[in-house]
């Protein structure tokens, strides 16, 4: 059969950053896929070599708007590994609270967008409504809705006062019920089951081979979670479990994300209750000796890895940053084969929770005829598929207008 | 942090990789650093990934005075250990065997080290640029210490290659 190349991108299919996918298609089926990245390369590693140890957290915080605590966290852990100092328990628990709040809002963001993309705008509105409460807690506890600037090598910058802790506890307990409602509504829906199950399957073997991370690996039955594998001292006393699903499809990845929200809520509650009174929040690192250190932390999308090397000066000699998507993107080569174009857009979104800006697909065949599919058309393809499933199940598709 | 180190993995690796490594140290409880010759590094890393069941974290290239140091970071999750395999590729011969030709997970990071630091990976199936623009001048490596921003001017960019 004639092979056609479909460019998906470069600015951008469903992921957060500009990426360009070349889909090799036979008819409607994708037979191969090529990913090009680098449209948004900002040279942060080079820039980091010209910042002092204390300035770097501000820089790495801006790598990603959603994972804005995980990068500073991994960097601080790397520097602390290099220095070899112990962090006060209160500081560690404050870090846990901020990181878990980030995880909930990131997962809810993804759930909302995935819902929107398959034509469930109610899921989208609900999830984002609840996400708003989480952002309010973030604002009350850290002073910002995003880019919290809470972490520094050796501890945290700001302490929680009594009023903040009470507010945080009250609001987070409040959140459990609505998120439970949302989760049950999604997991009980036969249409969502039919639409998302068996799509974009990443087998356990492939997940290990590509070293997939975060919900992508845990959705495929590989129980890798840095919080469990390399726990902080503050994490050891808290009770929680790693969520693992076996099937490896888009549905499993969604279930992992939804169920992780409850673990995060439970972790925040435990951490806020057990904050030790009157302890310092900073180990006060005076200087960074010659040496090297690795730090890693579980971001909402997977393990963030930072490596720093010091030559004894006030700046890193080398600072390597590896975001989880770097390992997760190549897995599409395994999970997209044999799927339809309507699903590929969803599968590419299944590892990573953001899509914004324009999406466009240009269909090019050998005679150089070009057809541009814009965001609207891509959305239409996906929603049509959901509506067809609904009709087959004897349900009436929703009447709302999809021309957004 | 307990001061007593868990040396089980360390002893195990020492025994299994006896002839292949220069030295092995465990400076902190959960970190192991292995130094190997560049010819043996891919073999050691492949062994750790495939047989010793380590997770691939990433690889780092560092510009040292004598050459480019490549560190492969692997995580042994069931033992809570990060194993770092270090090798120094000398400036006189900036080449090392590719691991990506066998193990898919290493392909992207090798492309990145190639364009950022100029190390050639022998046998890599797909050595296109990953992060840098297609129009970025050839033979300039931004992560080397000798690289200055003023080294690349607007005239150096080859816009024809990127199709602009």
Instruction: Return the DSSP state at B62.
Output: E
CA distance A52 to chain B (A): 17
Higher-confidence residue of B92 and B135: namely B92
- Closest C-alpha among A130, A98, A136 to residue A111: A130
Four-way CATH pick for B8-131: 3.30.365.10, 1.20.120.350, 3.30.460.80, 3.30.70.20? 3.30.460.80
Contacts of A45 in chain B (CB under 8 A): 143
Q: Quick one: pLDDT at residue A356?
A: 29
Higher-confidence residue of A354 and A175: namely A175
For the cut 60, the answer to whether the pLDDT of residue A88 exceeds it is yes
Give per-residue pLDDT as tens, A236-271.
888 888 999 998 888 998 899 999 999 999 999 999
> Which span out of A198-202, A254-258, A335-339, B157-161 was modeled with the highest average pLDDT?
A254-258
Listed in sequence order, the DSSP H helices in A119-249 are: 121-142, 162-188, 190-196, 204-209, 215-218, 226-229
Q: Which of these ranges, A1-5, A333-337, A350-354, A364-368, has the smallest mean pLDDT?
A: A364-368
Residue ranges per structural domain of chain B: 8-131, 133-164
- Percentage of chain B lying above the pLDDT 90 cut: 41
Are the beta carbons of A211 and B55 separated by less than 8 Å?
A: yes
Are the beta carbons of B105 and A327 separated by less than 8 Å?
A: yes
For the cut 50, the answer to whether the pLDDT of residue A65 exceeds it is yes
Does A296 lie at the interface with B, CB-CB under 8 angstroms?
Answer: yes
Instruction: Return the DSSP state at A239.
Output: -
For the cut 50, the answer to whether the pLDDT of residue A362 exceeds it is no
DSSP reduced 3-state for A384: helix
Are the beta carbons of A37 and B84 separated by less than 8 Å?
A: no
Q: Which residue in the set A43, A81, A296 is minimally distant from B142, CB to CB? A: A43
Residue of A nearest to B58 (CA): A322
d(CA A16, CA B44): 36
Residues of B contacting chain A (CB within 8 angstroms)? 1, 27-28, 30-31, 33, 55-58, 60, 62-63, 71, 73, 75, 77, 80, 82, 84, 103-105, 107-109, 129-133, 142-143
Does A221 lie at the interface with B, CB-CB under 8 angstroms?
Answer: no
Q: Which pTM was predicted?
A: 0.89
Q: Quick one: pLDDT at residue B65?
A: 86
Helix (H) or strand (E) holding A155: strand A155-156
d(CA A120, CA A255): 16
* Residue B1 pLDDT level (bands cut at 50, 70, 90): very low
For the cut 60, the answer to whether the pLDDT of residue A13 exceeds it is no
Are the beta carbons of A305 and B56 separated by less than 8 Å?
A: no
CB contact at 8 A, A97 and A78? no
Mean predicted lDDT score pLDDT of chain A: 83
The ipTM assigned to this model is: 0.91
* Residue A360 pLDDT level (bands cut at 50, 70, 90): very low
Q: Which of these ranges, A169-178, A190-199, A357-366, has the smallest mean pLDDT?
A: A357-366
* Residue B164 pLDDT level (bands cut at 50, 70, 90): very low
Cβ-Cβ pairs closer than 8 A, A with B, add up to: 77
> Which span out of A394-398, B51-55, B87-91 was modeled with the highest average pLDDT?
B87-91
d(CA A190, CA A390): 9
Residue by residue, what is the 3-state secondary structure of B7-43?
A: CHHHHHHHHHCCCCEEEEEEEECCEEEEEECCCCHHH
Burial status of residue B148 (CB atoms within 10 A of its CB: 0-12, 13-18, 19 or more): exposed
Contacts of B73 in chain A (CB under 8 A): 294, 305, 307
Give per-residue pLDDT as tens, A283-328.
888 889 999 999 999 988 888 999 999 998 999 999 999 888 888 8
Q: Quick one: pLDDT at residue B159?
A: 76
CA-atom Rg of chain B in angstroms: 18
Residue of A nearest to B134 (CA): A38
Summarize the confidence of residues B123-144 as an average pLDDT: 86
For the cut 70, the answer to whether the pLDDT of residue A136 exceeds it is yes
Q: Quick one: pLDDT at residue A366?
A: 42
Sign for the pseudo-dihedral over CA of B65, B67, B68, B72: negative
Are the beta carbons of A230 and B104 separated by less than 8 Å?
A: no
DSSP reduced 3-state for B144: coil
Q: Quick one: pLDDT at residue B69?
A: 94
Residue B49 CB partners (closer than 8 Å, separation 6+): B56, B74, B99, B103, B105
CA distance A157 to chain B (A): 22
**Interface test with chain A among B25, B75, B106, B126, by most A beta carbons within 10 Å:** B75
Are the beta carbons of A86 and B1 separated by less than 8 Å?
A: yes
Are the beta carbons of B104 and A210 separated by less than 8 Å?
A: yes
Cβ neighbours around A47 below 10 Å, total: 12
**Interface test with chain B among A292, A296, A316, A326, by most B beta carbons within 10 Å:** A292
Are the beta carbons of A309 and B80 separated by less than 8 Å?
A: no
Q: Which of these ranges, A224-228, B66-70, B129-133, has the smallest mean pLDDT?
A: B129-133
Summarize the confidence of residues B52-71 as an average pLDDT: 92
Contacts of B79 in chain A (CB under 8 A): none
Residue ranges per structural domain of chain A: 3-38+327-392, 44-324
Are the beta carbons of B58 and A46 separated by less than 8 Å?
A: no
B153-B156-B162-B164 Cα dihedral, nearest 10 degrees? 70
CA distance B75 to chain A (A): 10
Does A160 lie at the interface with B, CB-CB under 8 angstroms?
Answer: no
Both tokens of residue A300? 């909402």
Are the beta carbons of A84 and B131 separated by less than 8 Å?
A: no
Summarize the confidence of residues A332-351 as an average pLDDT: 79
Q: Quick one: pLDDT at residue B3?
A: 47
Residues facing residue A373 across a β-bridge:
A361
Are the beta carbons of A37 and B75 separated by less than 8 Å?
A: no
Q: Identify the CATH class of A3-38+327-392.
A: alpha beta
Are the beta carbons of A305 and B73 separated by less than 8 Å?
A: yes
Contacts of B130 in chain A (CB under 8 A): 37-38
Q: Quick one: pLDDT at residue A68?
A: 86
Does A307 lie at the interface with B, CB-CB under 8 angstroms?
Answer: yes
d(CA B156, CA A71): 34
Does A244 lie at the interface with B, CB-CB under 8 angstroms?
Answer: no
Phi first, then psi, for residue A217 (nearest 5°) are: -80, -40
Give per-residue pLDDT as tens, B77-91.
888 889 999 999 999
Give per-residue pLDDT as tens, A99-121.
999 999 999 988 888 888 788 88
Summarize the confidence of residues A216-235 as an average pLDDT: 86
* Residue A400 pLDDT level (bands cut at 50, 70, 90): low
Residue of A nearest to B53 (CA): A208
Residues facing residue A291 across a β-bridge:
A310
Q: Quick one: pLDDT at residue A354?
A: 41
> Which span out of A178-182, A232-236, B153-157 was modeled with the highest average pLDDT?
A178-182
Helix (H) or strand (E) holding B55: strand B55-63
Summarize the confidence of residues B53-57 as an average pLDDT: 90
Contacts of B109 in chain A (CB under 8 A): 326
Are the beta carbons of A318 and B103 separated by less than 8 Å?
A: no
CATH 2.40.50.100, domain A44-324, yes or no = no
Q: Quick one: pLDDT at residue A259?
A: 93
């Amino acid at each position: 059969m004639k092979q056609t190349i479909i460019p998906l991108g470069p600015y951008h299919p469903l992921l957060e950053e500009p990426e360009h996918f070349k889909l090799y298609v036979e008819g409607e089926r994708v037979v191969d896929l090529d990913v090009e990245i680098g449209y948004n390369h900002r040279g942060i590693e080079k820039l980091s070599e010209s910042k002092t140890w204390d300035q770097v957290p501000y820089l790495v915080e801006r790598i990603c708007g959603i994972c804005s605590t995980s990068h500073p966290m991994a960097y601080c852990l790397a520097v602390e590994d290099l220095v070899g100092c112990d962090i006060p328990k209160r500081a560690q628990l404050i870090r846990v609270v901020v990181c878990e709040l980030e995880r909930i809002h990131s997962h809810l963001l993804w759930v909302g967008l995935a819902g929107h993309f398959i034509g469930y705008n109610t899921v989208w509105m609900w999830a984002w409504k609840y996400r708003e409460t989480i952002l309010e807690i973030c604002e009350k506890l850290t002073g910002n809705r995003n880019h919290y600037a809470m972490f520094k090598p050796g501890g945290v910058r700001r302490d929680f006062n009594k009023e903040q802790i009470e507010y945080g506890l009250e609001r987070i307990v409040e959140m459990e019920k609505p998120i439970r409602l949302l989760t049950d509504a999604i997991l009980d829906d036969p249409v969502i089951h039919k639409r998302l199950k068996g799509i974009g399957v990443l087998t356990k073997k492939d997940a290990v081979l590509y070293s997939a991370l975060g919900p992508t690996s845990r959705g495929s039955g590989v129980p890798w979670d840095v919080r469990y594998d390399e726990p902080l001292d503050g994490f050891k006393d808290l009770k929680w479990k790693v969520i693992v699903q076996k099937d490896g499809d888009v549905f499993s990845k969604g279930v992992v994300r939804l169920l992780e929200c409850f673990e995060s809520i439970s972790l925040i509650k435990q951490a806020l209750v057990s904050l030790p009174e009157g302890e310092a929040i900073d180990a006060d690192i005076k200087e960074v000796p010659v040496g090297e250190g690795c730090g890693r932390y579980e971001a909402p999308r997977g393990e963030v890895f930072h490596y720093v090397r010091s030559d004894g000066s006030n700046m890193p000699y080398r600072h390597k940053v590896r975001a989880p998507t770097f390992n997760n993107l190549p897995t599409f080569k395994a999970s997209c084969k044999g799927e339809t174009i309507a699903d590929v857009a969803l599968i590419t979104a299944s590892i990573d929770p953001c899509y914004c800006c324009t999406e466009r697909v240009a269909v090019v065949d050998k005679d150089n005829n070009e057809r541009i599919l814009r965001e609207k058309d891509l959305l239409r393809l996906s929603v049509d598929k959901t509506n067809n499933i609904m009709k087959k199940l004897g349900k009436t598709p929703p009447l709302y207008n999809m021309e957004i | 942090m307990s001061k007593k180190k868990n040396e089980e993995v360390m002893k195990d690796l020492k025994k299994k990789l006896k002839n292949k490594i220069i030295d092995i140290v465990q400076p902190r409880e959960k970190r192991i650093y292995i130094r190997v010759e560049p010819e043996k590094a891919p073999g050691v890393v492949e062994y750790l990934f495939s047989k010793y069941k380590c997770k691939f974290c990433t690889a780092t290239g560092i510009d040292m005075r004598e050459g480019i140091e490549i560190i492969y970071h692997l995580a042994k999750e069931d033992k809570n250990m990060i194993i770092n395999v270090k090798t120094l590729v000398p400036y006189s011969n900036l080449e090392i065997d590719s691991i990506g030709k066998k193990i898919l997970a290493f392909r992207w990071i090798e492309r990145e080290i190639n364009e950022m630091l100029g190390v050639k990976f022998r046998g890599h199936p797909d050595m296109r640029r990953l992060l840098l623009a297609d129009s970025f001048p050839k033979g300039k490596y931004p992560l080397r210490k000798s690289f200055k921003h003023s080294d690349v001017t607007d005239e150096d960019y080859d816009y024809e290659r990127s199709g602009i």
